[in-house]
Amino acid sequence: MIWKRIFGRQRGEEEAFSLYRAVVAQARLPALYLHGGVPDTVEGRFEMVSLHVFMVLRRLRDGGADGRALGQRIFNVLFDDMDQTLREMGVGDLSVGKKIKGLASSFYGRIGAYEEGLRAEGDAVLAGAIARNVYGDPAMTDRAAALAAYVRRCDAALAVQSYDDIAAGHVVFVAPPAATGAAAAHVAGT
């Protein structure tokens, strides 16, 4: 990580950083936390970044070898970011590697669960994976269903965007879940 700062970035890294910044901006939208019910915690934010990185990686696969290479660079940026965040939170140098390894393992597990959910008919499988991973509670069916519908809409929107635009960091996601019911009335009355 420090060597990259000293000796400069490798070819193509700027694309990965640009795309990662766009993904993180979407993952940090307040509506995901206020209206989507995602816990506004370190874990909740990791879940949202992971979910959005997954969606972009899924789209980049269509770019062949270049897309897979860019996806690997984004993965590297994600975990460099996690490494830096853990260090800023005061995690000791000896523990950071173990924590990063655990986060990477959980990220791969989520990719598998979300892939399975997107391949399945309907949203039950995807909503179940979201309820377990994002909310940590399989009973959060309403919130998980709304977030699953959002993921499906994002997946469809990403599928029609040009690979070149996405690779350049010009990725467009759909709007996150909006306030509904009592939450909408509260926001409107604020």
Whether 2 maps to a domain, the answer reads no
CB-based contacts of 2: which residues, under 8 Å, 6+ apart? none
> Domain count of the chain?
1
Whether 152 maps to a domain, the answer reads yes
Whether 20 maps to a domain, the answer reads yes
pLDDT tens-digit series, residues 39-79: 998 899 999 999 999 999 999 998 899 999 999 999 999 98
Q: Which pLDDT score is estimated for 189?
A: 33
Whether 4 maps to a domain, the answer reads no
pLDDT tens-digit series, residues 116-158: 999 999 999 999 999 999 999 988 889 999 999 999 999 999 9
Whether 30 maps to a domain, the answer reads yes
Whether 1 maps to a domain, the answer reads no
Phi-psi region at 10: left, alpha or beta (left = phi > 0; alpha = psi -120 to 50): beta
| Radius of gyration of the CA atoms of the chain, in A | 17
Whether 185 maps to a domain, the answer reads no
CB-based contacts of 182: which residues, under 8 Å, 6+ apart? none
Domain that holds residue 35: 11-173
Whether 62 maps to a domain, the answer reads yes
